Amino acid sequence: MMKTRQYVIDEYADHQLYKELAAREKDAGNTQALLKLAEQEHEHYLFWKKFLPGYQPVLSPFFLAGFRLMRRLCGLTFTVKFLERREHKTVEEYKRVAAEFAGEDKARLEKIISDENEHENFFIGQIQETVIKYIGFIALGLADAIVEVTGVHAGFLGVTSSTLFAGISGVIVGFSAAISMGSAAYLQAKHDPHRSAWTSAVITGVSYIFSVVMLAVPYFLTRNMSQAFMLSTLVGMLLIALLTFYSAVVFDRRFWREFLETVGLMLATAAVTFVLGVFIGKTFGIQQMMS
């Protein structure tokens, strides 16, 4: 029972956060789901609070502000899933602590555990958000651009020492590929009644172009080809990490496995295109021509 105070704080914090999210939500269905979550957390809070009569937790304004910012930047589904992900360890602790209770208190704690495992997942499933419908197209644009454009840059690493040429080439290839990927996304979503084909195309294309620009920036900031490639690769890995973490939280996936798979694919592509670039550069004497 040494952590009772922390349980009180955690449940009270979750209650306040769900209330805060519900108050700022415009969709009526989402508001109702969030209010149900807030009500559940309040009941959990009252259970633990009875063991600490007179104690009233106080939340830092920065705590609520941080989650408000997360809601604005990452969306409602991500924020709620992140909260629930944070509670998984707490649920495991509740299961161990339940052995210390008996009678009505034990039954009540087991009900709280059941709520955390089942009911909240049901309410979370009721939350509808546009970004979730199109997250696959965002991932398609970002991931494909990172792998393809990094490969283009690696190829030019073996052909030329001009960072400006390599950067411009990556942008040109990237913009062309963005149009192609946007068209493919349009055709893919055209027969899907739950998604707009034009929205899918635009999201895929914009995601692709965003990645292309971010990967190209290092080539315009330095004249050292190796340094530019290393910085661009790090940018690509950072974008992959952010996208993978977002997807891992929203869809309950394993972060490290997907992250390492995508990074491995990116590096393997870069290695192959670098070797090809070196071969072509030496065979046709392009390295000397473009230095």
Whole-angstrom Cα Rg for the chain: 25
3-class DSSP state for residue 2? coil
**Cα 182-209-223 angle, rounded to 5 deg:** 150
pLDDT tens digits along 161-197: 889 988 999 999 999 999 998 898 888 888 887 788 8
pLDDT tens digits along 125-157: 666 666 677 787 788 788 888 998 999 999 888
The answer to whether domain 4-128 has CATH 1.20.1260 is: yes
pLDDT tens digits along 242-254: 999 988 888 888 8
pLDDT tens digits along 33-81: 889 889 999 999 999 999 888 888 888 888 889 988 998 888 888 888 8
pLDDT value, residue 280:
81
State the virtual CA torsion across 130, 131, 133, 137 in degrees, nearest 10: 140
pLDDT higher than 70, residue 206 = yes
pLDDT higher than 70, residue 2 = no
pLDDT value, residue 196:
86
pLDDT higher than 70, residue 15 = yes
Residue 75 zone, left/alpha/beta (φ > 0; ψ -120 to 50; rest): left
Task: Scan for tokens 């415009």, then name that residue.
Answer: 26
Q: Where are the domains of the chain?
A: 4-128, 131-290
Q: Report H helices in 190-254.
A: 197-221, 225-251
- Specify the higher pLDDT residue, 156 or 264: 264
pLDDT higher than 90, residue 210 = yes
pLDDT higher than 90, residue 231 = yes
- For residue 67, what is the enclosing H or E element? helix 61-74
pLDDT value, residue 122:
65
What's the predicted TM-score (pTM) here? 0.80
From residue 148, alpha-carbon distances to 127, 142, 196, 233, 243 in Å are 35, 10, 26, 12, 17
pLDDT level of residue 289 (50, 70, 90 thresholds): very low
Its sign, for the CA torsion 192, 195, 197, 200, is negative
- Arithmetic mean of pLDDT, 13-38: 89
Q: Are 209 and 179 in contact (CB under 8 A)?
A: no
- Which of the 8 DSSP states describes residue 195? S
- Nearest-angstrom CA–CA distance, 175 and 181: 10
pLDDT value, residue 33:
85
pLDDT level of residue 99 (50, 70, 90 thresholds): confident
- Nearest-angstrom CA–CA distance, 176 and 84: 41
pLDDT value, residue 27:
84
pLDDT value, residue 121:
65
pLDDT higher than 70, residue 124 = no
